[in-house]
Structures are given as C-alpha cells and as structure tokens.
Amino acid sequence: MPLKSSTDATDATARPSKAGEIARNRRVGNLSLRILSSVVLGPLVLMVVVHGGVVFQGLLVAVALVSLYEWTVLVEPGGRWPVKLAGFGGFVMALAGALIFGTGGALAGIALAAVTAGLGGRAVGAEHPLMLGFGPLYVGLAALALAWIRGSGGAALVLLVLLAVWATDIGAYACGRLIGGPRLAPRISPKKTWAGLVGGAFAAALVTLTFAWAYDARQPAWAFLLGVVLALVEQGGDLFESWVKRRYNVKDSGQLIPGHGGLLDRIDGLLAVAPVFALFHEAVGPWILWG
C-alpha cells in the first residue's frame, strides 16, 4: 500500500480548516448584508409609516402582493402561471372591497380571495389548494390590520407594533447566541432556544412599557404583559413559516432582500402580530393601555 506523502497529509489537514474558514467568511458576509439591509430599509419603512396616507397604503399593497407571490411559489413550487394567478385574482377582489366598502368590505374581500385561490387553484391543477387558499388570509388580514391600526390609532401605534416585533427578533437572537441552552423547536427551527424566547419577550415588553410611559397610559403595567404576548405571537409566526418551509423543503421564501431572503422571511412575525394587536386595541386598548 503506497504511503501518503507529507504534502498529501498537509493537504488533508488543510482542507477542513480552509472549508471552515470559507464557512465563517460566508456567515460574516451574510450578517453584514443583513445589517446593511436593515439599516437602509428600516428608516425608510418608519418614514412611510409616519407619512401615512396614500404612500403608506401603497406600501401595504406592494408588500402584500409580493408576500402573496412568495407564498404561492412556496406552497406551489412547480405550479403553472394559472395556479399562481388564482391567488392574485382573489386578492384584487379584496383590495377592491377595501377601497369601495372600507374595513367590512375588505374582510369580505379577503374571505372571497381565500375561496377563489383555493377553488381556483384546485380547478387549474394545484397540488396544495388549501395552502394556496390560506395565503390571502395569512397576508391580507395582516395588511388590513396595519391599515386599520394606522387609521384608528395613528402612526405611533404602527411604530409600536414594528418596534415590538423588531425587539423580539433582536432580543431572541442576542440571548440565543449568548446563553444558548435547550432548543425551542428543534424539528422546526433548530437555532431557536428557550433562552431566546425569554430574551425576545423581555425586549418586547420593555418596548411596550416604554411606549406606555411615554404616552401617559392609564394602566402602564399592562403594557409589559402586552409585550410578552406580542413576543410569543411573533415567535409563533416565525415558527409557522419555518414549518411551512421545512414541509416544502425550501430554505428561504425568496431572494428579494440581501442577507435576509424573501419578504416573508422578514415579516413572518409581523403577519401574526398585526391582527392580534388590532383585536387588542379594538377590544381593550383604550382602557388598559393608551391614555
């Protein structure tokens, strides 16, 4: 049996090191892209929220359409264009209902969009018509909730929702990396930890509590509990999309945002939080939280 030369041995030991270095460089580059994208897009979103009006509504429509497209491609990766258009046809009905009849019309339009996407998808050969029909509900209710929050509570409440979601992500990431520990849902999202969940909840609670103090809320202590609930909902939304991506063996919902993947990858938590916060604000918000 021929013996390995010293050069071969050196190459054999160098390859893992080189592969590890490449992986580390890739992670650093990806993190840099994530930070740069957040620094650029975050202030733009905040300015649009503050501006309101047609600009804000236009942003919601654009985000909803892109998100719906990503969802359709995610659950029907091999779907033909008639399958992909089934969801859009229904969503256009939802937008028309919102413009003509307001919130009630939008809710009816979203329900009709879900039925149209599901039945239309089945008619043109979709493999997963139920998931296709869920898309307009998943995206449409969140968009409608944000529009309603902006109209009824002003820019401050929309900013609160966004900041609570962002604080959850940052707190969960920081505590997950620093503390580690048991995994939250290893089969769905192996990187999430219970420490991250607690850190994200605490960060969101600090944001809502600070907001309550700043706006002289009647019951500021309840704001802390609200932040915890929103963080749990946000993490649930994140895990839901992770489950969907694992089911369809997809890493990212798209490649729209450098370092982040698709739009759904960035707003999965917000899609869950927005309707919950809208229900809270409508039911008990003025009494519990906002002065």
Claim: this prediction has a pTM higher than 0.85: no
Is a pLDDT exceeding 90 seen at residue 227? Answer: yes
Q: What is the 3-state secondary structure (H, E, C) of the chain?
A: CCCCCHHHHHHHHHHHHHHHHHHHHHHHHHHHHHHHHHHHHHHHHHHHHHHCHHHHHHHHHHHHHHHHHHHHHHHCCCCCHHHHHHHHHHHHHHHHHHHHHHHHHHHHHHHHHHHHHHHHHHHCCCCCHHHHHHHHHHHHHHHHHHHHHHHHHCHHHHHHHHHHHHHHHHHHHHHHHHCCCCEEECCCEEEEEHHHHHHHHHHHHHHHHHHHHHCCCCCHHHHHHHHHHHHHHHHHHHHHHHHHHHHCCCCCCCCCECCCECHHHHHHHHHHHHHHHHHHHHHCHHHHCCC
Q: What is the pLDDT of residue 99?
A: 59
**204 confidence band (pLDDT: 50, 70, 90):** very high
Among 12-16, 22-26, 154-158, 201-205, the range with the most confident prediction by mean pLDDT is 201-205
Instruction: Summarize pLDDT for 8-22 with one digit per residue, the tens.
Output: 444 444 455 555 554
What's the mean pLDDT when you consider all of the chain? 80
Is 106's pLDDT higher than 90? no
pLDDT of residue 217: 80
